[in-house]
Amino acid sequence: MVKSKRNSSFEILRILSMFAIVIHHFAVHGTLNPNFYNKNFTNAYVIYDYLLFLGRLGVVLFVMIGAYFLCDKEFNFKRPINLILTTFFYSYLIYFVLRHVIHFKSLNILFNNEGLKAFWSPFPLPSGYWFVGGYVVLLFLMPMLNSTIRSLNKQQLQFLIFILNFFWVLIPTLMQMLPGKPDMAIDDFGYSHGIIFILFYFMAAYLKKYSGSFLNNAKKMGILSLLCLVVSLTICLFALQGSDASIMLANINLLYNPLTILTAFYIFAFFKNQFFYNGFVNYIAGSMFGVYLISDNTFVRTLIWQVFISSKDIATFWVNYLVEAIGYSLLVFLVSLLLDIVLRRIFFEKSINKATSFLNGKISKIIKY
């Protein structure tokens, strides 16, 4: 059986999504923080809030790409095992190099005080990755999610997506916008950054199973995508009103708000309707998870965004902040990409795959999923 070539349009979207996540990290992990408001940085706060929006948009799209290819597949343990092993590989490798080989004094200063000393603990992992936890859970839920998708008709799946959006997207967003009750929290209705991946899974499945003439119109999807991106930037201009507005926008854009979800839906539909193949693009896209594991490692991101680069130092002029956000993020993206190609794909991928196959065989004999 000849293996079909994966549409490179999805792989370009995967690359763009990861870059959006990296540039989001420039903002959220950087030294510019709207909670410590400075009127000299007012214009930069607009860019800051928009970068937060782009990062959350990148996460939604990244999960939807995986879900699109998994929603009609049979489950096997190889996917979550490989994900876990790759995460262990990078987490312990980076920990060992930074702690015992390079001995970065900056990290010792940051993480050796009493309050943060626990960050150096190598168990259960030296670096926490919230995305990995959420995605691993999603992979293990895959048989149940796919069974649900197969059993629902179009209207039922639409209703399910609507309900999840109402409780996990709309209500948390409104709670950030309106004066909140002290006895209510955004997770009262089941919201969490990992569990919401289930919603993205159903959204991708809907686009794969029920796309009609409207969603298959690439021109309309492209226009709607651009419109949503412009609207989101326009909303971020409210940060110019001062501290309270900037902080509220930052909190909203750190959530998966309705505009983020809608924008992701249209962008995904647009790329789904583009068809071409490019081997180089597909190869580069295969390192996007590695880019995340390297650049968002707890210690690496501290070195990059707080020690080597200080976003606050260039925030007095918003153009400088934007240019350096793009430039530094691109540099981090490319260096992480090259490191993943060399370290994992050239030297260690065969070993990781062998370990994956071995563990998959052992677990599959014990657990019939």
pLDDT in tens, 242-261: 777 778 888 888 889 999 99
* Amino acid 82: pLDDT: 97
H or E element that contains 53: helix 42-70
In-domain check, residue 122: no
| Cα distance between residue 362 and residue 28, in whole Å | 41
Mean of the pLDDT values across residues 274-293?
A: 97
| Cα distance between residue 223 and residue 213, in whole Å | 15
| Cα distance between residue 316 and residue 318, in whole Å | 6
| Cα distance between residue 207 and residue 269, in whole Å | 7
Q: Give the distance, in angstroms, between the CA of residue 132 and the centroid of all CA atoms in the same chain.
A: 10
In-domain check, residue 114: no
* Amino acid 179: pLDDT: 63
Judge contact between 293 and 129, C-beta under 8 A: yes
Number of Cβ within 10 Å of residue 35's Cβ equals 9
Q: Which of 22, 27, 10 is nearest to 246 (CA)?
A: 27
Mean pLDDT score of the chain, rounded to an integer? Answer: 90
In-domain check, residue 109: no
pLDDT over 70 (residue 114): no
pLDDT over 70 (residue 117): no
In-domain check, residue 3: no
In-domain check, residue 229: yes
| Cα distance between residue 128 and residue 297, in whole Å | 7
3-state secondary structure of 237: helix
* Amino acid 182: pLDDT: 63
* Amino acid 215: pLDDT: 95
| CA-to-CA separations, 11 to 85, 190, 271, 277, in angstroms, rounded | 23, 31, 10, 9
Q: Which residues contact 125 (CB under 8 A, 6 or more apart)?
A: 87, 88, 91, 92
Mean of the pLDDT values across residues 334-351?
A: 96
Judge contact between 34 and 250, C-beta under 8 A: yes
Owning domain of residue 276: 8-98+127-366
Mean of the pLDDT values across residues 6-32?
A: 96
| Cα distance between residue 349 and residue 93, in whole Å | 14
| Cα distance between residue 57 and residue 253, in whole Å | 9
Judge contact between 322 and 27, C-beta under 8 A: no
Q: How confident is the model at residue 1 (pLDDT cuts 50, 70, 90)?
A: very low
Q: Is the pTM of this model over 0.85?
A: yes
Q: How many CA atoms lie within 13 A of 240 on its CB side?
A: 8
Q: How confident is the model at residue 361 (pLDDT cuts 50, 70, 90)?
A: very high
Judge contact between 88 and 127, C-beta under 8 A: no
Q: Which of 171, 199, 174, 209 is nearest to 187 (CA)?
A: 171
* Amino acid 159: pLDDT: 98
Q: Which of 80-84, 115-119, 360-364 has the highest mean pLDDT?
A: 80-84
pLDDT over 80 (residue 37): no
Q: Which amino acid is at 354?
A: K
| Cα distance between residue 86 and residue 341, in whole Å | 13
Judge contact between 288 and 4, C-beta under 8 A: no
Q: Which of 59-68, 107-116, 182-191, 213-222 has the lowest mean pLDDT?
A: 107-116
| CA-to-CA separations, 255 to 60, 252, 263, in angstroms, rounded | 11, 5, 14
* Amino acid 142: pLDDT: 96
Q: Which residues contact 188 (CB under 8 A, 6 or more apart)?
A: none
More confident: 367 or 205: 205
- Number of compact structural domains in the chain: 1
More confident: 188 or 144: 144
In-domain check, residue 103: no
Q: Which of 81-85, 113-117, 236-240, 319-323 has the lowest mean pLDDT?
A: 113-117
Mean of the pLDDT values across residues 293-309?
A: 92
In-domain check, residue 2: no
In-domain check, residue 108: no
